[in-house]
């Protein structure tokens, strides 16, 4: 079995780390540079930094903050938010990012995934998929007859805008276009601490030949065991349980090893 990864996530708004539930009701969770330093010291395998309002505000990622975080840590560092061009990626990599994460821009222009993978290598390109289980347009419900039809649907702009893309098909497409990883966030479980979306994660992991990072819903150590076994995820990402010291990363890794999950030292 390949080793699994534990990845803290810094959701950034106005230069501060924030965390909410189901992508709303955000509260302050601390200074991102200080948090990043703690996570690197505790043995986090990687760090994800998402500027969650960059796309909505129509601006680029906070380069200076990225640079400060990169100078503080010695673990792989993924950055997302407001990235829409080769120039954006070059600037972030030059600021110290190891990988970049795109979501809204990939949906708007799927060929961007091909372009970035060709320019920088697939290992550098993470496609984030924010998804929610919602009623979809086609099917008997549109005619007013029968039961409504539901599916996992891709959302953009920090979860604000539903698209017409179905999550499973989109995951296949971004892999074909050259993505090196998928960051899968269930908006339904995000911030609930009730557990990851195991069935969805297992479906995506089952069709993808690239690593899948599961995000949304971590509340206990057993939730990580579940997502690595039943969910078949390659990495587990969480935010509030780490930010507010509900679970410490060294203790989590020890627990996972005791439950037969191969972890990096």
User: What is the set of active-site residues?
Assistant: 11, 130
Rounded to whole angstroms, how far apart are CA atoms 131 and 199? 13
- Residue 163 exposure: Cα atoms within 13 Å on the Cβ side: 21
Rounded to whole angstroms, how far apart are CA atoms 11 and 239? 8
Q: Which of 254, 200, 263 is nearest to 232 (CA)?
A: 200
Q: What is the DSSP letter of 3?
A: P
Query: Do the beta carbons of residue 114 and residue 93 sit within 8 Å?
Result: no
Residue whose token pair is 């110290």: 96
Please name the helix (run of DSSP H) or strand (run of DSSP E) that holds residue 104, with its range, or none.
Answer: helix 104-108
| Dihedral sign computed on CA atoms, order 188, 134, 61, 182 | positive
Give the C-alpha distances (Å, rounded to integers) separating 51 from 41, 56, 102, 186, 197.
23, 10, 11, 18, 23
């Amino acid at each position: 079995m390949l080793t699994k990864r534990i990845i803290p996530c810094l959701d950034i708004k106005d230069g501060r780390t924030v965390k909410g539930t189901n992508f709303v009701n955000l509260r302050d969770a601390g200074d991102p540079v200080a948090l990043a330093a703690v996570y690197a010291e505790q043995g986090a395998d990687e760090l994800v930094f998402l500027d969650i309002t960059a796309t909505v505000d129509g601006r680029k990622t906070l380069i200076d903050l990225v640079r400060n975080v990169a100078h503080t840590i010695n673990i792989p560092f993924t950055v997302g938010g407001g990235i829409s061009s080769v120039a954006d990626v070059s600037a972030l990599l030059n600021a110290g990012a190891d990988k970049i994460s795109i979501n809204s821009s990939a949906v708007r222009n799927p060929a961007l995934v091909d372009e970035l993978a060709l320019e920088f290598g697939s290992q550098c390109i993470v496609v984030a998929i924010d998804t929610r289980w919602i009623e979809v347009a086609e099917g008997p419900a549109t005619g007013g007859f029968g039961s409504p039809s539901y599916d996992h649907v891709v959302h953009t702009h920090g979860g604000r805008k539903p698209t017409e893309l179905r999550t499973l098909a989109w995951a296949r497409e971004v892999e074909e276009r050259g993505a090196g990883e998928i960051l899968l966030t269930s908006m339904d479980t995000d911030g609930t601490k009730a557990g990851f979306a195991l069935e969805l994660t297992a479906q995506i992991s089952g069709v993808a030949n690239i690593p899948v990072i599961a995000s949304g819903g971590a509340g206990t150590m057993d939730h990580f065991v579940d997502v690595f076994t039943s969910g078949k995820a390659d990495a587990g990402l969480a935010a509030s349980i780490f930010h507010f010291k509900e679970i410490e990363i060294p203790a989590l890794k020890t627990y996972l090893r005791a439950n037969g999950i191969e972890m990096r030292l």
